[in-house]
Structure 1
Amino acid sequence: MEDTVRRIDRILLAIHQAHPGRVEMRASLLAPALGVEAFDVLAVKRAGNGLRPTTAYSHVQVDGGRLRALVDGEARALGNFPPPDELDKVWMVRRGHPADVIAVTADSIQADLTLMAGSGRPRLPLWARPSRDADVVRLCRGAVLLVHGEPRHDYRNVVVATDFSRASLAAARTAALLAPNARFVFVHAFQQPETAMMRELELPPRVIRSYREQGWEAARRKLDEFVELFLHDVPPGRREVHAGRAYEVIRDCVRRQQADLLVLGRGACHPGARLSSTNVMQKLMDEGACDLLVGPDRQGDGIDRRLAA
């Protein structure tokens, strides 16, 4: 199992007026470790609803002290402190949702990482609301970092949830680039549905206990092998294996470790995935306990990823 995540060269900052400064501050903290001096900044806001939704957006490239706007595919130089009327001219309108515009822009510039502010804990149930965060993750091919908290320092405690897949491998290696000096914790959740049947059959407790211990030992052995074989270039860290539902195991680990960054491989990303009660990624996005990094899409399956209008 090989993966090509070696460095991050192009970063897209998707900013929204509801969370001023949050994404920009996190980017400034990440820049020294990544050696990145230039960013693409995309401001988006919904311009129209209905059957044909539209989004207003402004795409500006920041390189050191130089600014330039991209208007209709052409670069337009801006001053270091451009006047408001000059900035008004670089706003454009595009058909689609904000998530569409973010994904199209990330794809056009081949962004390795897209940063955006997380939406926070929702008030409506999953089936009754759209999910901008989940839509951006589904539509973007590169890694996506959802910034939930106000950035105050570099990442210090990173929890990497793994299911031993290529997706979780790519996510872990991306996290190592973002937080090279952090303390890492690798966590894996496994289930033993047979234990319920064993209790129904009234098998001796020692038999059930022995079965659970064997399952834990097998899962721990697999986690050790995965980390040592494929993540030897990631900062070493603690390893945890727990029986239970993946969402609950990961959530409890984040709280226990006081993590400021949770790392997930890209899971189910089809349009209906967010409505699934088993969608671990969506539940953890809604939890918003800390920043969330979703690894890049390494499949390149070419599926049409646009949102329905």
Structure 2
Amino acid sequence: MTSRTPPGPILAATDFSGPSRHAADRAARLAHETGAALTLLHVLPGGALQELREWLGASHPMEQQLHDEADRQLGAWAAELQTSRRVNIRAVKSTGSPLVEIDRECEELNASLLVVGARGSGFLRQLVLGSTSERLLRRTKRAVLVVRHKPHEAYRHVLVALDFSPWSAHAIALARRVAPHARLLLFNAYQVPFESKLRYAGVDPATIDHYRKQARADALQRVLSLAASSGLKPGDWDPCIVEGEASQALLEQEQEQDCDLVVLGKHGRSVTEDMLLGSVSKHVLAEGSTDVLVSTARDA
């Protein structure tokens, strides 16, 4: 038996909120399952600290108290996870812009995965739900796992959204790396191009239905080809080809198929589709109910 090379390091960012605790727990589980190195990072926002100095003075003991409390909480979390998940954890505290500090730590570690909670109480709330999340996804070269729920087991049912752009093969590879024992649902949403205009132009329903069937058949064939080129075995995956608008169809399938992870990519086939896919990612992050893994690479 050949030994498997452990994946690259994992970075989990925490603001000590409940959601970020779930994220740290999932990161520790993944590190234990895959043998990856794990770093737990907390950032004290530099802007807030500067305001504190302006209000209370540069030598006020409150700033040191904040640092000491962050060190205490970070150390306690790391020790708890090391014991419960049987994994070594490197704890890091930094000060500055959370976006800059997270990105810097990712680069220094050459992290293969950044893990954050879906809704933090501090800087991570803006990081995941606000404009900062878009800046992070545009800036980072790392896959980003957004965790919504307390993890109870390894991922089992993973919905991988495909648009057949260059990142699609990487999305499948990433899903297999993060959820090696999961069954994959390879999802694609198709639509008849300009259907409303065809109807307006008087194209008969039978012809439009023919186009619909052809669009579905084409999508299925491309999914089959992509699965084969990705090395998936028949028992490892199922096709999930649906008609409709991508973001809404994705959310519906997430629920119907009882998925515990959705994998998306931030790149489309063109600048316009990059914008569309960004809106799909944003919609799924805001409205979905399961963990979301965002691929950031075009190649497998």
Q: TM-score normalised by the shorter chain: which range applies?
A: 0.7 to 0.9
* Corresponding residue for residue 305 of structure 1: none
Residues 149/223 of structure 1: CA separation in 2 closer, same or farther (3 Å cut): same
Residues 68/266 of structure 1: CA separation in 2 closer, same or farther (3 Å cut): closer
Verify the 8 A CA contact 2:103 2:140 in the aligned structure 1: yes
Task: Give the superposition deviation at 1:67.
Answer: 6.8
Q: Are residue 46 (structure 1) and residue 45 (structure 2) matched?
A: yes
* Residues 138-179 of structure 1 deviation map (CA, whole Å, 9 limit, x = unaligned): 222111111111111111110000111221221221110121
* Corresponding residue for residue 63 of structure 2: none
* Corresponding residue for residue 141 of structure 1: 141
* Residues 105-151 of structure 1 deviation map (CA, whole Å, 9 limit, x = unaligned): 1011110111111128xxxxx9xx83343333222211111111111
* Corresponding residue for residue 18 of structure 1: 17
Residues 178/17 of structure 1: CA separation in 2 closer, same or farther (3 Å cut): same
Q: Are residue 236 (structure 1) and residue 236 (structure 2) matched?
A: yes
Verify the 8 A CA contact 1:172 1:295 in the aligned structure 2: no
* Corresponding residue for residue 245 of structure 2: 245
Of 15-24 and 59-68, the range deviating more from structure 2: 59-68
Structure 2: unaligned runs, 5 residues or longer: 52-66, 121-125
Out of 93, 96, 112, the residue aligned to residue 95 of structure 2 is 93
Task: Quote the Cα distance in structure 2 between the aligned partners of 1:283 and 1:188.
Answer: 16
- Structure that is richer in helix per residue: 2
* Residues 17-54 of structure 1 deviation map (CA, whole Å, 9 limit, x = unaligned): 22352122112321233123x311101243426999xx
Partner SS, residue 17 of structure 1: coil
Task: Quote the Cα distance in structure 2 between the aligned partners of 1:114 and 1:31.
Answer: 12
Residues 111/233 of structure 1: CA separation in 2 closer, same or farther (3 Å cut): farther
* Residues 204-224 of structure 1 deviation map (CA, whole Å, 9 limit, x = unaligned): 222221121111111111111
* Residues 260-304 of structure 1 deviation map (CA, whole Å, 9 limit, x = unaligned): 100012237xxxx999797111111112411011113358xxxxx
Residues 7/298 of structure 1: CA separation in 2 closer, same or farther (3 Å cut): farther
Partner SS, residue 239 of structure 1: strand
Verify the 8 A CA contact 2:267 2:277 in the aligned structure 1: no
Task: Quote the Cα distance in structure 2 between the aligned partners of 1:105 and 1:293.
Answer: 19
Q: Are residue 152 (structure 1) and residue 152 (structure 2) matched?
A: yes
The list of structure 1 runs, each at least 4 consecutive aligned residues, that deviate by more than 4 angstroms after superposition, is 49-52, 56-70, 273-278
* Corresponding residue for residue 263 of structure 1: 263
Residues 17/198 of structure 1: CA separation in 2 closer, same or farther (3 Å cut): same
Task: Quote the Cα distance in structure 2 between the aligned partners of 1:175 and 1:103.
Answer: 22
* TM-score, normalisation: structure 1: 0.72
Verify the 8 A CA contact 1:184 1:235 in the aligned structure 2: no
Verify the 8 A CA contact 1:13 1:116 in the aligned structure 2: yes
Task: Give the superposition deviation at 1:69.
Answer: 6.0
Verify the 8 A CA contact 2:137 2:296 in the aligned structure 1: no
Verify the 8 A CA contact 1:99 1:139 in the aligned structure 2: no
1:291 is aligned with what amino acid?
A: D
Partner SS, residue 151 of structure 2: coil
Verify the 8 A CA contact 2:159 2:261 in the aligned structure 1: yes
Sequence identity, in percent? 26
Verify the 8 A CA contact 2:158 2:259 in the aligned structure 1: yes
Residues 234/291 of structure 1: CA separation in 2 closer, same or farther (3 Å cut): farther
Task: Quote the Cα distance in structure 2 between the aligned partners of 1:48 and 1:185.
Answer: 43
Residues 148/206 of structure 1: CA separation in 2 closer, same or farther (3 Å cut): same
- Structure that is richer in strand per residue: 1
2:39 is aligned with what amino acid?
A: D
Residues 46/235 of structure 1: CA separation in 2 closer, same or farther (3 Å cut): farther
2:12 is aligned with what amino acid?
A: L
Counterpart mapping for 1:141-220 below 5 A: 141-220=141-220
1:281 is aligned with what amino acid?
A: S
RMSD: 3.6
Residues 230/276 of structure 1: CA separation in 2 closer, same or farther (3 Å cut): closer
Total equivalences in the alignment:
260
Task: Quote the Cα distance in structure 2 between the aligned partners of 1:289 and 1:236.
Answer: 24
